[in-house]
Amino acid sequence: MSLKNLTNPEKNVVEFEFSADKETFEKAVAKVYKNKVGSINVPGFRKGKAPRAIIEKMYGKGVFYEDAVNEILPEAYEAAIKDCELVFVSMPEFDIVSIDDNGVVFKARVYTKPEAEIKDYKGIEVTKAPIEVTEEDINTEVEQKRVQASRLIDITDRAVENGDNVDIDYEGSVDGVPFDGGKA
């Protein structure tokens, strides 16, 4: 696995090509074949017993390539970004440049951490506004925290008082006949 080509098509965007060699790709294809062979039916063979060459001849050489790419892509990408030595801030967009028996070449597009250049910052004076906390501010905050942490208790032995939470059920009627929307 190696980093091949690094370009900056836009500001804070990096595109690079990286590859997985023939041996790594072949191991991944063999692993995928081993995992998938049990679910492939080939006439003349018991389920799961068809040789890889027969399956590839029947379904095409690249029948296992997609899963093999998914198998090696994370590791190949990790190796490539270590070689880049850049700080990426987005998920990569991948393309496959080429795929064959000699391996796979990927292309990734990633946003990088922007470089900021700060000029003329020396000599700037900043005044810090004083913060005054009053006793009333403290009491207000404590009361808010107390209300947030409180719990509701059902009280049935007294009349409703100011500050109680109340559930009210009602039904309205005109001359003893209930009307629409008068019940809640």
How far apart are alpha carbons 22 and 101 in whole angstroms? 7
Tokens found for residue 85? 């030595």
pLDDT above 90: residue 170: no
pLDDT-derived band at 81 (thresholds 50, 70, 90) equals confident
pLDDT in tens, 110-135: 998 888 888 888 888 888 999 999 99
pLDDT in tens, 15-46: 888 888 889 888 988 898 888 888 888 888 88
Residue 83 pLDDT: 79
pLDDT above 70: residue 163: yes
Give the closest residue to 30 by CA, choosing from 99, 106, 101, 98.
Answer: 101
Whether the pTM exceeds 0.75: the reply is no
Complete domains list, the chain, with CATH: 2-111 (3.30.70.1050)
